[in-house]
């Protein structure tokens, strides 16, 4: 997979094809042509949402748009797959975290 995933992006002026977008209020750098998921993983972000009932953290699973584990909100539009959506300069991406469901204890 190379240095892009896991090692982050090197601080190098030669990477002039990079830009930033917002992830849950934090600035994330991406290479031109990268998906949202690729940029998030390279930046060290592994959790994209939490489960509906238990609030457990969830990360990407398939990475090819089949499993829908990477749903995020992009520029106010919910349920976008981060693994197949291109990152764009200035976009605002928020996690697909869902509120915990009310539970009754027995």
Q: From CA 44, how far away is CA 8, in angstroms rounded? A: 7
> What per-residue confidence (pLDDT) applies to 96?
76
CATH T-level topology, domain 16-94: Ubiquitin-like (UB roll) (3.10.20)
> What per-residue confidence (pLDDT) applies to 102?
43
Q: From CA 37, how far away is CA 44, in angstroms rounded? A: 11
Q: What is the pLDDT of residues 92-106, one digit of tens each?
A: 999 975 544 444 343
Q: What is the pLDDT of residues 13-51, one digit of tens each?
A: 555 699 999 999 999 999 999 999 999 999 999 999 888
Q: Is the pLDDT of residue 91 over 90?
A: yes
Task: Tell which residue, 41, 34, 37, has the closest CA to residue 8.
Answer: 41
pTM: 0.77
Cross-strand partners of 35 = 86
């Amino acid at each position: 997979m190379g240095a892009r995933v896991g090692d982050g992006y090197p601080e190098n002026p030669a990477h002039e094809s990079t830009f930033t977008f917002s992830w849950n209020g934090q600035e994330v750098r991406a290479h031109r042509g990268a998906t949202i998921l690729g940029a998030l993983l390279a930046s060290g972000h592994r959790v994209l949402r939490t489960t509906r009932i238990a609030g457990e953290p969830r990360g990407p699973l398939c990475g090819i748009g089949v499993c829908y584990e990477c749903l995020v909100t992009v520029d106010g539009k919910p349920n976008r797959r981060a693994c197949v959506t291109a990152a764009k300069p200035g976009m605002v991406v928020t996690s697909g975290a869902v509120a915990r469901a009310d539970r009754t204890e027995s």
